[in-house]
Amino acid sequence: MAKPVYVLNGPNLNLLGVREPAVYGRDTLDDVKAMAQAKASAVHLAIDFRQSNSEGELIGWVQDARGQASGIIINAGGLTHTSVALLDALQAAELPVIEVHLSNIFRRESFRNHSYVSLAATGVICGLGAKGYELALEAMANILAKRGPQGPA
């Protein structure tokens, strides 16, 4: 059986739907998870959808992904802009990584314009709300299909 794609969500994403809905939308994390599960099924992927407010736990999951997952979709929240340790873990995972942000980080405060995660990402999707997760799953399905069962072409 194919390894799942890890869909990892960082700090404060558990507050989706109530935290700054004008910025992040009204969809809850449970709504996002349901949409992601439906899209994953449609593109023939299994997903393991997780959220943590802990940097260490996210890093542990990325490290686990190296042997347990076929790819990583990550919305690292505020850790995007601060965590070199998360970047190091993503690079060490040696998996395709798609970075997702609900808001357009380039139209926000200047400190949000920089992403450490992007340095490890195959691709970045931002500013499209929860739809970004669906697009990330479509992109991941394409990446994995090109790689084939033996890994990178």
Choose, from 6, 101, 116, 133, the residue flagged as catalytic.
101
Q: Tell me if residue 101 is catalytic.
A: yes
DSSP state of 132: H
Q: Give the 3-state DSSP-derived string for 35-79, with helices as H, strands as E and coil as C.
A: HHHHHHHHCCCCEEEEECCCHHHHHHHHHHHHHHCCEEEEECHHH
Query: Is 81 labeled as catalytic in the residue annotation?
Result: no
101 bridge partner residues: 126
Catalytic option among 6, 24, 116, 133: 24
What CA–CA distance (Å, rounded) separates 96 from 72?
6
Residue 39 contacts residue 134 (beta carbons within 8 Å): yes
Show Cβ contacts of residue 48 under 8 Å, excluding neighbours closer than 6 positions. 4, 5, 6, 7, 69
Instruction: For the chain, give the number of residues.
Output: 153
Hey, which residues are catalytic here?
A: 24, 101
